[in-house]
Amino acid sequence: MLNSRKDRTHAFVGRARASTYPEGHPSGWYRLLDLDEMRPGDVRALDCLGKNLVVYRGRHDASYRVLDAHCPHQGASLAGGEVVGNELACPFHHWCFDGEGRLARIPNKDETRDKLPRVGVRSYPVREHHGMLWLYHDVSGQALAAPPYEPEVIEDIADGRLVYRGRHAPGDVQMHISEFVENSVDFQHFACVHGDLTIPWTQIKVPGFGVRHEPDWYVDADVPHKAYFSDKACLKFRGRAMPKSGAQARITLFGPGGTVWFRFSLPDLGDILLFQTHLPKRDLCQEVRFRWYADPKIPRLLVWYVVGHWISQWKADVEIWENKVFRERPVLIDLDGPVHRMRKWYAQFYEAAAAPAERAHRCLPIVDARG
């Protein structure tokens, strides 16, 4: 027997929902993993953004590299290979590729590097920031030599004013990446979905209490790939607003939603900064991760409360996201937010970079190097 809302709605997992969204994964920076998940010399397969990738960490320099996973020789998965120095050796015939994806050596082949077949695999631009590994993905699927912008370094994390306080891995969510940003302009849903006060980290309502929201949304005047959502919220008790309980949160939408971050400012104590990241595993499947930093003056319990409150609110949205479709022409009324403005902004992430700088060695489909 079907009882809860989740039971009643959690059924639409096929292609029909996916076909309502734009094709391809939008361009931007995406978090692949936390830097402490792999040690130097480790190799890992990663399926995301419509690609089969291999991530490895050099033994000598401990840097991360990301390549297409399949060997140009006979197609073995490099994820089964070994790291040799800063190169990756294929498990099949031990051809070695450098971090740029170029064939660097063939063991037992007594020739200079110039005589090696000029083949390789795609390598992707990656950066290591704030304890996470970031990859730039272009909607075309091609690997760009130079991404159009860099992942943002948050100053007060970089200089140690905010310190690492925790992370949370809720698992995969069956939604499209654009839904998080769509949600930020859906002003009508704040009262309907986020109007209850819940116990942090749960969906358990606190009787008598509610939350009043005053949302706003705007594009950064100087940086085209950034937009902001802000919310002036205050508690309500038995329907009456309690203005003294007011707090303001600002969320930075960085690119298409590969990462967004929340800054909560607590008077006399300092800031909490919470990253929320989305990595498209498949068309309607996001790996979601949270990671947070805080001013060391803020008691850990208070940090836990603030982050847990956000995650409760996020969970309330998930049930909707996991079953909805994309309406190209939604029926909007005056209670709705700036949906058209947001979509115009978001469209930039579906424009492929002009003339992607593919390196010549990536473009050789068949090479007979036997001479």
Our CB check for ligand FES shows the closer of 95 and 124 to be 95
Say which entry of Fe ion, ligand FES, none residue 76 contacts (CB below 5 to 8 A, set by partner kind). ligand FES
Asked whether position 312 contacts Fe ion by CB under 5 A, the answer is no
**Can you list the alpha helix ranges (DSSP code H) found in the chain?**
5-9, 15-18, 155-158, 178-184, 189-193, 300-321, 339-346
Q: Pick from Fe ion, ligand FES, none: which does 139 bind, CB < 5 to 8 A by kind?
A: none
Least distance (Å) from ligand FES to the CB of residue 139?
29
Instruction: Tell me whether residue 116 or residue 193 sits nearer to ligand FES (CB atom).
Output: 116
Stretch that binds Fe ion, among 20-28, 123-131, 164-172, 179-187 (CB under 5 A): 179-187
Interface with Fe ion (CB under 5 A), residue from 317, 321, 346, 349: 317
3-class secondary structure, 19:
coil
Alpha-carbon distance of 231 to 213, in angstroms, equals: 6
Looking at the Cβ atoms of 105 and 341, the one nearer to ligand FES is: 105
116 part of the interface to ligand FES, by CB under 6 A: no
How far is Cα 258 from Cα 238, in angstroms, rounded to an integer?
38
* DSSP assignment letter at 150: P
183 is a contact residue toward Fe ion (CB under 5 A): yes
Burial (CB count <10 Å: 0-12, 13-18, 19+), residue 73: middle
Name the maximum alpha-carbon separation found in the chain.
84
Q: Which span (88-96, 293-301, 328-336, 343-351) binds ligand FES, by CB under 6 A?
A: 88-96
Residue 182 binding Fe ion, by CB under 5 A: no
Nearest alpha carbon to residue 361 among 51, 85, 145: 145
| Min dist. Cβ of residue 80 to ligand FES (A) | 10
DSSP character for 94?
-
Question: Which stretch, 86-94, 127-135, 216-224, 243-251, contacts ligand FES (CB under 6 A)?
Answer: 86-94
Residue 95 contact among ligand FES, Fe ion, none, beta carbon within 5 to 8 Å by kind: ligand FES
Q: What is the distance between the alpha carbons of residues 79 and 95, in angstroms, rounded to a whole number? A: 13
The half-sphere exposure of 111 on its side-chain side, counting CA atoms within 13 A, is 12
Q: How many angstroms separate the CA atoms of 187 and 182, rounded?
A: 10
> Rg of the chain over CA atoms, in angstroms?
23
Query: CA-to-CA distance for 120 and 104, rounded, in angstroms?
Result: 9
The pair of structure tokens assigned to 237 is: 């008790």
- Per-residue contact string for residues 38-77; x = within reach of ligand FES by CB under 6 A: ---------------------------------x-xx-x-
Nearer to ligand FES, 85 or 195 (CB): 85
In whole angstroms, the minimum distance from the beta carbon of 102 to ligand FES comes to: 14
Burial class (CB in 10 A: 0-12, 13-18, 19+), 211: buried
Q: Which of 254, 35, 66 is nearest to 133 (CA)?
A: 35
Could you give the angle at the alpha carbon of 56 between the alpha carbons of 137 and 71, nearest 5°?
80
* CA atoms of 370 and 180, how far apart (whole Å): 52
Q: Which is nearer to ligand FES, 73 or 226 (CB)?
A: 73
Task: State the DSSP H helix or E strand holding residue 285, giving kind and residue range, or none if neither.
Answer: strand 285-294
Q: Which does 217 bind (CB under 5 to 8 A by kind): ligand FES, Fe ion, none?
A: none
317 binds, among Fe ion, ligand FES, none (CB under 5 to 8 A by kind): Fe ion
Residue 93 binding: pick among ligand FES, Fe ion, none (C-beta 5-8 Å cut-off by kind): ligand FES
Residue 89's binding partner among ligand FES, Fe ion, none (Cβ under 5 to 8 angstroms by kind) is none
Q: In terms of CB distance, is 287 or 317 closer to Fe ion?
A: 317
Which residues make up the interface to Fe ion (CB under 5 A)? 183, 317
Which residues make up the interface to ligand FES (CB under 6 A)? 71, 73-74, 76, 90, 92-93, 95
